[in-house]
Structure 1
Amino acid sequence: MFSHPAHILAQGFGSGLSPTVPGTMGTLFAWLSFNIFSDRWPAFFTPWNWLLIIAIGFVAGIWACHITGKNLGAADHGSMVWDEIIAFWLVLVLVTPAGAQAQTAAFLIFRFFDMVKPPPIRYFDQRFKGGFGVMFDDIVAAFFSLLCIALWGSW
């Protein structure tokens, strides 16, 4: 992980190095860090600043995941979880304020879409490659998660 700065970011500061379910570990890291940062420094970690951090993180993730995938010999290596982190931060910032129960539901819904990759998520996962492809399919999973949460909330 420390052989290149891109690996640190792409592998979610080590959360992607879990021998089992690295994507889930990366999403849990996103959940924990979002809540710690938002609770500890609420004046800085406002929804608008989170959106800026997510946008910058998405662009940085394209670079980091491209480099890391190339160095690991797999375009979307399982240890790369920055895509889950950025996408789940997006889900959390758009459902905030949300209590623990709603955040748990958001976590489960996002993990479903990220793991199962139903159409059209699978289409984007297969169509776009490199760092952009790694990052983009999780943003689509975040969109479908948010859509489900919005539909659920409207009932």
Structure 2
Amino acid sequence: MNERKTLSDAQRRALLSSPAGWLACGFGSGLAPIAQGTFGSLAAILPWLLLRHASLPLNLLVIAVGFAIGVWACDISGRLLGVDDHRSLVWDEFIGQWIALLPALLAPWWAVFLGFALFRLFDVWKPWPIGWLDRHLKGGLGVMIDDVIAGIFAAIVLWLVLRVS
């Protein structure tokens, strides 16, 4: 069994019994049998729908606090699993997706779909410096930072698309 890909029953129970693990696996969305990052990104849209009605400063505060808590939760969960960035740890997708959707706060509904697609594109493609950060930073910060940058890239492209549409 490849620990990077598949969780044992004991690992799954350990994640779900810990507040850090529960958060790091995106309230269970990271436990999907396939495409955990996509499921985590989709799950992130649900709380974002509430954030969409909040101010930009409040959104930025939620993202900053979520990032800090995510570094802690993903660090603990990675040590628990014995894998720094296990695919079931998707809290980084939540934060990256929320960043990607910042330009969609006051935009038409289709911007949410485009923001989701752009974030997934940058998260999977990992252009520089995303890929470099993903390979070189370890622990909770390493789990979180590449998705933050992917979210920023997606937000910039989404903002540009919204400006010209």
Normalised by the size of structure 2, how large is the TM-score?
0.84
Identify the residue that residue 36 of structure 2 maps to in structure 1: 22
**CA distance in 1 between partners of 2:51 and 2:83 (Å):** 34
Q: Establish whether residue 83 from structure 1 lines up as the match of residue 92 from structure 2.
A: yes
**What percent of counterpart residues are identical?**
43
Identify the residue that residue 131 of structure 1 maps to in structure 2: 140
How far is the alpha carbon of 1:19 from its aligned partner?
0.5
Identify the residue that residue 114 of structure 1 maps to in structure 2: 123
1:1-155 map, 5 Å: 1-35=15-49, 37-38=50-51, 42=53, 45-155=54-164
**CA distance in 2 between partners of 1:55 and 1:4 (Å):** 22
Judged with a 3 Å threshold, the aligned counterparts in structure 2 of structure 1 residues 38 and 56 are, in CA distance, closer, same or farther, namely closer
Runs of 4+ in 1 over 6 A off after TM superposition: none
How far is the alpha carbon of 1:2 from its aligned partner?
2.4
The residue identity in structure 2 corresponding to 1:88 is Q
Extract unaligned runs of 5+ from structure 1.
none
Contact kept? 2:51, 2:59, Cα under 8 Å: no
Contact kept? 2:16, 2:22, Cα under 8 Å: yes
Task: Give the aligned CA root-mean-square deviation in angstroms.
Answer: 1.5
> CA-to-partner distance for each residue in 1:2-52, whole Å, 9 max, x for gaps?
2211001100001111101111111111112211x247xx4xx33221211
SS in 2 for 1:20: coil
How far is the alpha carbon of 1:154 from its aligned partner?
4.3
Deviates more, 1:47-56 or 1:59-68: 47-56
The residue identity in structure 1 corresponding to 2:36 is P
How far is the alpha carbon of 1:102 from its aligned partner?
1.2
Deviates more, 1:59-68 or 1:1-10: 1-10
In the alignment of these two chains, the number of paired residues is: 150
**CA distance in 2 between partners of 1:38 and 1:116 (Å):** 27
Normalised by the size of structure 1, how large is the TM-score?
0.90
Extract unaligned runs of 5+ from structure 2.
1-14
